[in-house]
Chains A and B, each alone.
Chain A
Amino acid sequence: MTNTGFVFDVLIPVGKIVAVILYPMLMTIVMIWLERRVVALMQKRLGPNRVGFQGILQPFADAFKLFLKEDIMQDQADPLLFKVAPVLVMFSSLLAFCFVPLGEPIRIGTYQLTLWIAQSPVGLLLVLGLSSISVFGVIFGGWASNSKYPLMGALRSVVQILSYEIPIGLTVLSVVFFARSIDLVEIVNHQSQAKIWFGFMLPVSFVVFWISAIAETNRAPFDLPEAESELVAGYHTEYSGMKFAFFYIAEYAHMVLVSSLVVIMFFGGWLAPFPNVPAFAFLKVIPGFVWYLVKIMFFLYLYVWIRATLPRYRFDELIRLAWKWLIPLALLNFLVVALIRYIL
């Protein structure tokens, strides 16, 4: 009896924590390979295809190179902030993953294994708040480097992230309106009861959220803070070795986090598609976790697709897009959603 108690009270939580740390790393490895190959194929290049079958081992080679690389900190840098910045970025995205439900609870005998570390009544806000802490890593990283391009990148990213947080908040509100909860698990459960995903009910919210999410994660076409043609590499220009790897992994972890949020809020999380069509009932056999993975892989692919397709925005256009288009659109959408909710 004590033995099972030990397993349930200690081993499983520790295992979950390890899984939450490993999961973004694993996704990063997948994404590095996917991104480089897909972008190359879209641009009629070959991309990495030498290391392993179709270049599958390329990310490991990259990681190995970063491990061995000399960790340089130039003299004029601020030592404390320079070291803290990558940790902050990494910390915020990993901590936010604790609250993201990855699948439906699995029943093992009498024990219910939940695929999340913590369920909070304010989970959605908590994830958004924790992931916004990463902006400090970007600011401090850019500022502590004490040179021109990182500082420019950091300033840009502050303005960008603060601006795009507003449409995100407004669109999240419309989802909360329908789900009547800020709890991520409850939001998915509500979609399973309603038998319709919020993405189809609130298409405008989804589109606005997705555009803002791309801007929040500093990805093309909104990758102004690290625009390589203007700023060398933006806020992490001066970083090398493991510290750079931290920024790199954190960026991908953030993408995975945002994709998870989109999937959970707008596309039913771990639910199987077509709940109304009896012919597709066999889809429910596949475990929820797999559906979740399939869905977030689609959105991660969308990230790469957009990056390979669209040219980069100019900075003033980027801010104009947020304040003159997305925020009014999100407000209007919110108003309409509120009216519909009131009438229904």
Chain B
Amino acid sequence: MAILLFFLFAAFAVGSVLGMIISRNQAYSALFLVVAFASLGGLFGLLGAPFMAVVQIIIYAGAIMVLFIFVIMMIHLGEGISAEKKKWTIAAAVFMGIILLAEIVFAVKGAPAVPMAGQEMAGTSPTEIGRLLFTKYLYPFEITSILIIAALVGAVVLIKKREGE
């Protein structure tokens, strides 16, 4: 059952990323990406990380992609930008992709086998993550909140129209 779900989500994720590459319309790309992120959320759930699955859906699919679509609507390029026409960049992209794939496969093969946990984890409860966040990772957590405030203020300052502009 779980393996079926895995293949379903994996097919959705890979298929929608491919669709995002092929589609010429930015809004279509965004739609495909929403599907990809949602299915990645499902995969996170399969990995026994329900909290991460929900965070993925709320933050990635629910917030970041809305921002993307909002910007796409504001820029509104009409027909959308056609995919790369110069042949050599396509070739370069695919070539680099294949090289990278080979490299990673090679690296993974050489790596020592990951020690497998004996039995299956029941899945991490949000309580456990919360406890870790506020004890072991308290300082990173606080620093992240400062980072978010900085990003918020930075985005507002960047976008704000100055006087006389």
Could you tell me which A residues sit within 8 Å of B by CB distance? 78, 80-81, 84, 120-122, 125-126, 128-130, 132-133, 135-136, 139-140, 143-144, 151, 154-155, 158, 162, 165, 180, 182
Complex interface: chain A residues within 8 A of B25 (CB): 78
Q: Chain B nearest CB: distance from A66 CB in Å?
A: 26
The 8 Å CB contact of B73, one of A121, A130, A143, is A143
Of B55-63, B96-104, B109-117, B132-140, which binds chain A?
A: B55-63
Given A125-B58, A136-B66, A143-B73, 8 extra CB contacts under 8 A: A78-B27, A81-B27, A81-B31, A122-B50, A122-B51, A129-B61, A151-B73, A162-B66
Interface of B is mostly: helix
| Tally of B interface residues using CB under 8 Å | 24
**Closest Cβ neighbor of A182 among chain B residues:** B126
Q: Chain A nearest CB: distance from B77 CB in Å?
A: 12
Complex interface: chain A residues within 8 A of B125 (CB): 121
**Closest Cβ neighbor of A151 among chain B residues:** B73
Q: Chain B nearest CB: distance from A75 CB in Å?
A: 15
8 Å CB interface, B76-135 against A: 123, 125-127
Across the interface, do B50 and A136 meet the contact criterion of CB distance under 8 Å? no
Complex interface: chain A residues within 8 A of B62 (CB): 129, 132-133, 135, 165
Expressed in whole angstroms, the Cα–Cα distance for A129 and B63 within the complex equals: 10
B12 on interface, CB distance cutoff 8 Å = no
**Closest Cβ neighbor of A135 among chain B residues:** B66
Complex interface: chain A residues within 8 A of B69 (CB): 136, 139-140, 143, 158
Complex interface: chain B residues within 8 A of A128 (CB): 58
Q: Which 8 A-B pairs have the closest CB atoms?
A: A129-B58, A129-B57, A132-B62, A125-B54, A122-B54, A122-B50, A126-B54, A121-B125
8 Å CB interface, B12-33 against A: 25, 27-28, 31
Across the interface, do A133 and B38 meet the contact criterion of CB distance under 8 Å? yes
The 8 Å CB contact of A129, one of B31, B54, B66, is B54
Across the interface, do B54 and A155 meet the contact criterion of CB distance under 8 Å? no
With A143-B27, A158-B70: A133-B61 Cβ-Cβ less than 8 Å: yes
Complex interface: chain A residues within 8 A of B73 (CB): 139, 143, 151, 154-155
Expressed in whole angstroms, the Cα–Cα distance for A224 and B34 within the complex equals: 26
With A121-B50, A139-B73: A84-B126 Cβ-Cβ less than 8 Å: no
Expressed in whole angstroms, the Cα–Cα distance for A162 and B62 within the complex equals: 9
With A84-B31, A122-B126, A139-B73: A162-B63 Cβ-Cβ less than 8 Å: yes
B65 on interface, CB distance cutoff 8 Å = yes
Q: Chain A nearest CB: distance from B49 CB in Å?
A: 10
What are some 14 contacts across the A-B interface (CB < 8 A)?
A: A81-B27, A121-B125, A122-B53, A125-B51, A125-B58, A129-B54, A133-B38, A136-B69, A139-B66, A139-B73, A140-B27, A151-B73, A158-B70, A165-B62
